Amino acid sequence: MDTKRIVRLYWDKRCQTYDKGGYKSQNKTQHFWKNILKNAVRTDENLRILDVGTGTGFLALLFAEMKHTVVGIDISRGMLEKARQNADKLNLTVDFMHGDAENLPLEDETFDIVINRHLLWTIPNPRIAVEEWSRVVKSGGQIMLIDGKWYDSSIDMRLRRFIGKIFVYMTEKRNPCMFTSHYANIKYQLPFYNGSTPNDVVDIFTEAGLKNISVDNLEKLKQFENENRSLSYKISNKPSLFLALGNK
Ligand SMILES: C[S@@+](CC[C@H](N)C(=O)[O-])C[C@H]1O[C@@H](n2cnc3c(N)ncnc32)[C@H](O)[C@@H]1O
């Protein structure tokens, strides 16, 4: 089975539980992330923003709430369905579309900002993807990427992940092994499956011809996650996330 089909199958199943675990307070989380976004990109006027790998619409909905015109794209129809439900609940309008981050069904130079969060690790061809995002962004527009190091192979973290799986099973009522059973078959096709570093992303952005490249190590996010993440998440994960920006 091809890599993207397995990615899609996983997220089509995961959509049922994606919004349930994770954070203690959704409101606090949304407020915190809105501030991160306001500090990172222009939010002064009505902009056209594309959220690639939008999932259940986390970033897309925050930008819609800030009165921007937002398109959210995802390879999983299940995640998109949840995103639409989330938009309805909040009475927000986002154009959620089915599509592949590496081959966007969109015209050249039509967005002011292209954003993505927690997508790079599950992309088979990151360089092609960033070139594609650059194709649809207007000249002078911005690309914002949020990802980081996900996988720590130390014995301590292996043990914690094992215990975390039991917690996930008990508290989120989902099978944590579903992730491994899907991604074990394809992880070698995903160059950043274990995560990426700021240098990795700076290299890809540079190769795609982006300018004014900068990286924020999101130090405040570490503290926020410590205080606001659910116990099951904190046991299994110690990601080191960053936000990278580049201009076309
Ligand atoms: C970890 S989730 C992140 C969702 C959302 N960005 C967030 O921050 O909550 C990864 C998402 O990327 C989507 N995805 C994976 N590969 C993709 C691709 N090639 N094109 C578009 N979306 C993709 C998955 O379906 C999933 O919804």
Spacing, Cα 99 to ligand 1 middle (Å)? 11
| Digit-coded pLDDT (tens) for 187-220 | 999 999 999 999 999 999 999 999 999 999 998 8
Q: What is the pTM of this model?
A: 0.92
Ligand 1 is surrounded, with C-beta below 6 A, by: 4, 7, 11, 53-55, 58-59, 73-76, 79, 100-102, 117-119, 122-123
Contact (Cβ atoms closer than 8 angstroms) between residue 221 and residue 146:
no
Contact (Cβ atoms closer than 8 angstroms) between residue 230 and residue 171:
yes
Quote the pLDDT of residue 24: 67
Residue among 4, 74, 116, 233 whose CB has most ligand 1 atoms within 8 A, to mutate = 74
Q: Which CATH architecture is the domain 3-247 placed in?
A: 3-Layer(aba) Sandwich (3.40)
Alpha helices in the chain (DSSP H): 3-14, 26-40, 58-65, 77-90, 126-136, 155-171, 177-183, 198-207, 219-228, 231-236
Closest C-alpha residue for ligand 1 atom 14: 53
Three-class secondary structure of residue 101 per DSSP = coil
Closest C-alpha residue for ligand 1 atom 25: 76
Extract the residue ranges of the chain whose pLDDT is less than 50: none
Closest C-alpha residue for ligand 1 atom 1: 118
Three-class secondary structure of residue 151 per DSSP = coil
Closest C-alpha residue for ligand 1 atom 17: 75
Residue among 6, 11, 29, 58 whose CB has most ligand 1 atoms within 8 A, to mutate = 11
Residue 196 backbone dihedrals phi, psi, to 5 degrees: -130, 160
Quote the pLDDT of residue 113: 97
Spacing, Cα 18 to ligand 1 middle (Å)? 11
